[in-house]
Amino acid sequence: MFIHLAAVSPAVAHPNSGDTAWVLASAALVLLMTPGLAFFYGGMVRGKNVLGMLMQNYVAIGVVSVMWVLVVYSLAFGNSGFGGFAGNLHQFGLFHINEPVAGNSALTIPPLAFMAFQLMFAIITPALITGSTADRFKFSAYVIFIALWVTLVYGPIAHWVFSPTGWLFKQGAEDFAGGTVVHANAGAAGVAMAILLGRRTGWPKTAMKPHNVPYVLLGAGLLWFGWFGFNAGSALAANNLAGYAFVNTNTATAAALLGWIIVEKLRDGHATTLGAASGAVAGLVAITPAAGFISPVGSIFLGLIAGSICCLCTTLKFKLGLDDALDVGAVHLVGGVLGALLIGFFGTHAVNSLAQNGVFYGGGGHLLWLQAKDVGATVGYSFVATMIIGLALKHTIGIKMSDEQQLIGMDESLHAESAYDFNALTAGSIGSSSLHSSISMAHRTEVKA
C-alpha cells in the first residue's frame, strides 16, 4: 500500500472528491475479485466440489468483513502496540475512525474510505488459501480458521508492511499493493495447511482434472478486471502514479500469460487455456508489489520471468508429494516473492519520487536486501503461525473431511446441495439407476486407486 510519509496532521477536513471516488470505486473492484477467485478455483475442481469452493470464498467475505470492523483494522493500521508487533486497539469497532490514519498526513481521502479499501484486501487474502486446501477442508473448521488467521496473521503482517508505523515500512521495504502482505502471505499459509490436511483421497493416482475450464477463464477475467482497482487504487489518489500502476498491471499480466504458455509449449508440446488463465494470474500476483515502483518496460521483464518460473514450479508439488491442489504455492507464494524481490532490480525513482532505485538503476543492493528481509519475515511468520493455528484446530475440532465425504464431494456432504442436476440432464437417455450406478463405480475406482 503506497502511503506518503509525513508528519501527522489533523484529520482530512476537506477530502478530495475525485480521489475519494476513485478509491471507493477501486474498493468495489477489489471486492469483485473474490467472486472471481471463486469461479477461478471452482472451475478447477471436480464437479462435486464446485459449490464447496464457491461457498468458502463467499463466506470469507462475511467473516472477514465483521472481523475487520471489530478488531483487525485497528491491529493493521492503529498506532504500533503490543511491542510494535501490531497496531493497538484504539479503533476497535471503528471507534475513533475519523482520526488520521496513523503516521500518515498526506491522505486526501477520508479514513473511512481508506478502511473500506483495505477491507477488500483482507477479504481476498484468506480466500486465496482455499486453493491449497481444495476438496478436503471441513467447512466449520475453515470458518473458525479464517477468523483466527485474519486476526493473528494478516493483521500483524499488514501492520509491518503497509502501516507507516510498521517496522518493515519504516526500514524502507517496498510493497505497493500486497505482494508480500497478500500473496506471499497466503501462499505460505496455503502450503502450511496443505501439509497439515494431507492428501486428497486418491491423489496423485486418481485424475482430478478441472471440471469446467470456461469457469476458470471467467474467474481469471474477473480477477484481471478487479486487479486494476487492487493495484491502481493503491496509489490512494487519482493521479499519475495510479496511471503507472494501471499500465504496469496490464503489461505484466499480458507478458506472464505469454511466458507461461511458451513454457507449456516447450515442455509439453502444447499451450493450454488453463495455462493462459494461470499465467495471467501469476502475472497479476507478481506485479502487485511492484506496480508503482517499476517502468512499463520493467513490467514486461517481470511478467515474463514470473509466468515462466511459476509455470515451472507447478511440477514441484509432485516431486515433494505435497497436495497443493490448485497450485497456490507455485502461483501466489512464488509469484509474490518474485515480484517483491524483482523490485530490488527494476525499481526506479523515475516512476515514483519516493521509490528507491534498484540494481539496474544504479541503486546497488540495498533495496534488494530490504525486499529479501520483507519476504523472509512475511513468509516465515505466516508459515509458522498458520501451522500453530491449524494444529490447534486439528487436535480439537478436526480439519479434514473423511474419505467418504471426499468421495461424495463437498457439495452434498457439507452443504446438501449440487451444482448440476444430472438426473434432469440425462432424462430420456440414461435411467436414474444407471446414473447412480455410474457414480458408484466412479467412487469405487477412486477408492481402489
DSSP letters, 383-443, are HHHHHHHHHHHHTTT--B--HHHHHH-HHHHHHS--SS-HHHHTTTTS-HHHHHHHHHHHH
Run of H or E residues at 297: helix 296-313
Q: How far is CA 307 from the centre of its chain?
A: 16
Confidence of residue 372 (pLDDT cuts 50, 70, 90): very high
pLDDT tens, position by position, 165-216: 999 999 999 999 999 999 999 999 999 999 999 999 999 999 899 999 999 9
Confidence of residue 248 (pLDDT cuts 50, 70, 90): very high
Residue 162 neighbours by CB under 8 Å, 6+ apart = 1, 3, 76, 77, 118, 169, 175, 178, 181
pLDDT at 7: 32
Q: What is the average pLDDT score of the chain?
A: 92
Q: Is the pLDDT of residue 392 over 80?
A: yes
CA separation for the pair 17, 413 (Å, rounded):
49
pLDDT at 421: 81
pLDDT at 230: 98
CA separation for the pair 146, 396 (Å, rounded):
16
pLDDT at 44: 98
pLDDT at 285: 98
C-alpha cell at 275: 495455462
Check residue 335 and report its DSSP letter: H
pLDDT at 430: 43
pLDDT at 106: 77
| Candidate from 15-29, 380-394, 418-432 with smallest mean pLDDT | 418-432
Go through 278-311 and write b for each residue having 16 or more CB atoms within 10 A of its CB, e for each that does not. Answer: bbbbbbbbbbbbbbbbbbeebbbbbbbbbbbbbb
Q: Is the pLDDT of residue 70 over 70?
A: yes
Percent of the chain with pLDDT over 70: 91
Higher-pLDDT residue of 202, 421: 202
C-alpha cell at 32: 469483485
Q: Is the pLDDT of residue 409 over 50?
A: yes
CATH class of residue range 27-394 = mainly alpha
Q: Is the pLDDT of residue 436 over 90?
A: no
C-alpha cell at 428: 430420456
CB contact at 8 A, 283 and 308: no
Higher-pLDDT residue of 437, 352: 352
Q: What is the mean pLDDT of residues 78-102?
A: 92
Confidence of residue 426 (pLDDT cuts 50, 70, 90): low
Confidence of residue 104 (pLDDT cuts 50, 70, 90): confident
Q: Is the pLDDT of residue 447 over 90?
A: no
pLDDT at 142: 98
C-alpha cell at 252: 505484466
Instruction: Give whole-number Cα distances, 143 to 57, 158, 194, 218, in Å.
Output: 10, 21, 16, 26
Confidence of residue 100 (pLDDT cuts 50, 70, 90): confident
pLDDT at 448: 44
Domain boundaries, the chain: 27-394
Q: Is the pLDDT of residue 220 over 60?
A: yes
Residue 90: count of CB within 10 angstroms of its CB: 13
CA separation for the pair 430, 252 (Å, rounded):
48
Confidence of residue 11 (pLDDT cuts 50, 70, 90): low
pLDDT at 8: 33
pLDDT at 14: 75
pLDDT tens, position by position, 304-342: 999 999 999 999 999 999 999 999 999 999 999 999 999
Half-sphere exposure of 302 (CA within 13 A, CB side): 38
Confidence of residue 12 (pLDDT cuts 50, 70, 90): low
Q: What is the mean pLDDT of residues 78-89?
A: 92
Q: Is the pLDDT of residue 438 over 70?
A: no
Q: Is the pLDDT of residue 145 over 50?
A: yes
CA separation for the pair 77, 79 (Å, rounded):
7
pLDDT at 432: 41
